[in-house]
Amino acid sequence: MNKISIIMPLYNNERFVQSAIESICRQNYPKWELIVVDDSSTDGSLEIVKSLAKEDERIKVFQMAENRGVASARNFGLSKAKGRYVAFLDSDDIWGKKKLRTQLFFMQKKEYHCLTQPMLI
């Protein structure tokens, strides 16, 4: 079973981040890691994520020293990814519970392969 790294940039989104992470935790494909990169939030977002990370070891939390924008947060997350495949989820989005399994099956069926880098899904 291939691990999927999910990259989630986070900035001041305490209203929605818990729902976004819960949608990942409900996935029917269990072999994933969530890499949350906090881009120096000033609200309670980081505390929410840290609390959820204590409940699930697949959730990894990193904090940027200064706000550098979503692209920098995503790139930092990619540098920490250990999965064979990579997916992105914004901190205010929600996935259906079959999202990862469906996309991974599609990529395998179409024989999409990754030679040296994680493959984006």
Q: Are 84 and 116 in contact (CB under 8 A)?
A: no
Using the predicted structure, report yes or no on whether residue 120 has a pLDDT greater than 90.
no
Tell me the three state secondary structure of residue 48.
helix
Q: What is the pLDDT of residue 118?
A: 56
For helices 45-55 and 17-25, what crossing angle results, to 10°?
20
Using the predicted structure, report yes or no on whether residue 5 has a pLDDT greater than 90.
yes
Output phi, psi for 6, to 5 deg: -105, 125
Using the predicted structure, report yes or no on whether residue 107 has a pLDDT greater than 90.
no
pTM of the model as a whole: 0.91
Confidence of residue 115 (pLDDT cuts 50, 70, 90): very low
Question: 79 or 116: whose pLDDT is higher?
Answer: 79
What are the C-alpha distances in Å from 57 to residues 15, 43, 74, 106? 23, 24, 20, 27
What are the C-alpha distances in Å from 95 to residues 48, 87, 103, 119? 19, 11, 12, 19
Q: Which CATH superfamily is domain 4-120 in?
A: Spore Coat Polysaccharide Biosynthesis Protein SpsA; Chain A (3.90.550.10)
Tokens of 119: 């493959």
Which of 33, 26, 22 shows the shortest CA–CA distance to 99? 26
Confidence of residue 40 (pLDDT cuts 50, 70, 90): very high
